[in-house]
Structure 1
């Protein structure tokens, strides 16, 4: 039996090529290993928060809106203030709302999606909404702007809110009830 080199040439070439690729990949991993430290991540996050804050400040300046900022980075203004006491944890809040991107694109609203029913302090929704609800009571209206870390973060909501979105909320507290 005679070994036919022509018949197996393509297979031989493929095996040699594969071995070269595998060995080069192993060498590249050793050369390009990058170590990311906690300090590097913290510095990146500080820069990102600074950029987001600059975008929000510019938005407020362009639209001549005055808002206060909380220590967490939430920007808010109470539009109408009733005499009722502020919402408290473990109460149910019924909200008329509109959530939009800073460019005005509407993401969600009670007109299209129905009244928002939230258990205050339960943590089932964006932390910006939880924080804002503790600033108002029944009958109050509040506008607030949430940087991504207080809204839907890097991922967005996988539906109508894109990744890394700064969101504007316009909320009216229709009713507050005790949790049963």
Structure 2
């Protein structure tokens, strides 16, 4: 087998659909059941996050050959070459997605400030809207606070919510993303704001696995409940 066709093979496999029927497994009864399922679920989650599709027939053939026989279609060096090709593919896809998200974030913020008179913007580019103005104190940049919040992406999908968790969240303002550190200092206790956070003030190109992709614009609704003192 010529090494030059390895990338072609992997891209063909990546491009194939996932049509294999799911095994009828609903209950985990033993340690072996649970560890087997955990390994599969973790791998599946990682592949999904990295936008990689696989051909399950080839995947299972490789898995069984590696576990049960000494005969494999690709030797160790060839498999290493395949993994390098796959990693390159994943990086390129991630970079493409990141650039697309960054452009979408810039366009959203430009439109948001132009079309909504109640949206304000700070010199750093942080945008916010006052939903409810409180009359308490404002926190400093190293204070600890207690808040309720809900965060969503530009497509409206919610990725986190203290409200759904059933309890507020507490943290130091020097322990969170820049958009939160700056934004919460604009609030008074009792206030509720909506923030529109550019990736540069959020998680940037690295994102935050598994729910916040690279260069995502973040929209947070935050209610400042308390400035925590003496703790």
| TM-score bracket relative to the smaller structure | 0.5 to 0.7
Q: TM-score of the superposition, structure 1-length normalised?
A: 0.65
Structure with a larger share of its residues in strand: 1
- 1:126 alignment partner in structure 2: 177
- 1:115 alignment partner in structure 2: 168
Deviations 1:32-57 (A, max 9, x none): xxxxxxxxxxxxx9xx9786332223
Paired with 1:49 and 1:158, the residues of 2 have a C-alpha distance of 17
Q: Indicate conservation of the 8 Å contact 1:91/1:179, yes or no.
A: no
Deviations 1:107-135 (A, max 9, x none): 10013344221212x2x211000100100
Match of 1:106 among 153, 158, 166: 158
Paired with 2:118 and 2:156, the residues of 1 have a C-alpha distance of 18
Pairwise CA RMSD of aligned residues?
A: 2.8
Match of 2:226 among 152, 175, 178: 175
- 1:54 alignment partner in structure 2: 107
2:189 is the counterpart of 1:138: yes
Q: TM-score of the superposition, structure 2-length normalised?
A: 0.51
- 1:93 alignment partner in structure 2: 145
Paired with 1:92 and 1:56, the residues of 2 have a C-alpha distance of 29
Q: CA deviation at 1:169?
A: 0.5
Q: Over alpha carbons, which structure has the higher Rg?
A: 1
SS in structure 1 of the partner of residue 225 of structure 2: strand
Unaligned 5+ segments in structure 2 are 4-98
Equivalent residue pairs, number: 134
Paired with 2:156 and 2:104, the residues of 1 have a C-alpha distance of 20
Paired with 1:112 and 1:50, the residues of 2 have a C-alpha distance of 31
2:134 is the counterpart of 1:82: yes
Structure with a larger share of its residues in helix: 2
Larger RCO (CA under 8 A, 6+ residues apart): 1
